[in-house]
Structure 1
Amino acid sequence: MAAFSQLYDLHVRILFNYGLKLTLDKELLKDCIHDIFVKLYVKKDELGTIDNLKSYLFISLKNKLCDELRRRMYMSDTAVEEVNAISSMDVEEDYVEEEQQKNDFSLVKHLLGQLSPRQREALTLYYIEERKYEDICEIMDMNYQSVRNLMHRGLTKLRALVS
């Protein structure tokens, strides 16, 4: 059980960060992460050998979130105020920083919203989660060249939108 707790502690943060790219509903995300670890623990004997645990967890989380979102028919659009935490004593500085973060967040959200869901996922996995192409191929169930093409088209579109 201690080894499983260490496994959970090692992966929970990166799974949470990845999940935030798919949904902004933090409670749903926490529940899904918890569910995949419970399933992993309960069915450990049935699962057999897992060659790449991190990829398995990413794929499991993505599938679980998709299932839950489909089931709830829920589209997350959390307000920016809920994402940004206010924790400084200098109110004016905080206000300026918060406004800048809102603007940056809105711009990034808008730009990423212009991409297809697959482009957004591939770019998030590569640039934010720092995943290798091989991992992205496995997570997205695509071949290597298709992932490269998808990322190239996504980056080209982002460059065009920014300029």
Structure 2
Amino acid sequence: MAAFSQLYDSHINILFNYGLKLTIDKELLQDCIHDVFVKLYTKRTELGAIDNVRSYLFISLKNKLCDELRKRMYMSDTSIEEVNLPAPTDVEDDYMENEQRKNEFSLIKRLLNQLSPRQREALTLYYIEEKKYEDICEIMNMNYQSVRNLMHRGLSKLRTLAS
């Protein structure tokens, strides 16, 4: 139960912020978030392994909100054109793109940490700070060929690690 409470506490704010992109009805949003967690808790034995809990919660919330909004439209003769909501796919795409960027950044950081400090410094100077080889030679107090060799070994190691 403590783990479930921690899961709730760690995701409630981000789910609420995400939900505000789908609806402006804060009460409905809070109800839907709570419904998602209640369903998750009651169906926990029936669920298989969830690889990405955050994605699961986002998708569950989006589906719950869509279901509730559909019910409200059906009950109140409101047409879909009158409900002015952003397209959920845009929000999903943004979220997925952001997640992919985070994963790529994490991978790059992990790979760079496996290089020697000198290789990491040379590659950072060249690719991130966009320094020329001559500038890198001065900064690192190395001759031109040594910097080239260092860069080559660093890039070779990154290619090997990434494959």
TM-score normalised to the size of structure 1? Answer: 0.51
**Pairs within 5 Å for 1:7-86:** 7-73=7-73
Question: In the alignment, what sits opposite 2:100?
Answer: 132
Q: CA deviation at 1:126?
A: 6.0
Q: Distance in 1 between matches of 2:29 and 2:6?
A: 20
Identity score, percent: 62
Alpha carbons of structure 1 residues 71 and 118: separation in structure 2 relative to 1, 3 Å? closer
Number of equivalenced pairs = 96
The one of the two structures with greater contact order (alpha-carbon pairs below 8 A, sep at least 6) is 1
Deviations 1:7-33 (A, max 9, x none): 100001000000000001000000000
Deviations 1:105-142 (A, max 9, x none): xxxxxxxx8xx725632465368xx432799xxxxxxx
- Residue 117 of structure 1 aligns to which amino acid in structure 2? A
Deviations 1:51-78 (A, max 9, x none): 111010000000000000000016667x
Q: Which runs of 5+ in 2 are unaligned?
A: 104-163
Q: Which runs of 5+ in 1 are unaligned?
A: 78-112, 136-163
Structure 1 or 2, whichever has the larger Rg, is 2
- Residue 90 of structure 2 aligns to which amino acid in structure 1? R
Alpha carbons of structure 1 residues 2 and 119: separation in structure 2 relative to 1, 3 Å? closer
The answer to whether the 8 Å contact 1:32/1:64 transfers is yes
1:121 to 70, 91, 109: 91
Alpha carbons of structure 1 residues 8 and 45: separation in structure 2 relative to 1, 3 Å? same
Q: CA deviation at 1:36?
A: 0.5
Alpha carbons of structure 1 residues 2 and 46: separation in structure 2 relative to 1, 3 Å? same
- Aligned alpha-carbon RMSD (Å): 2.9
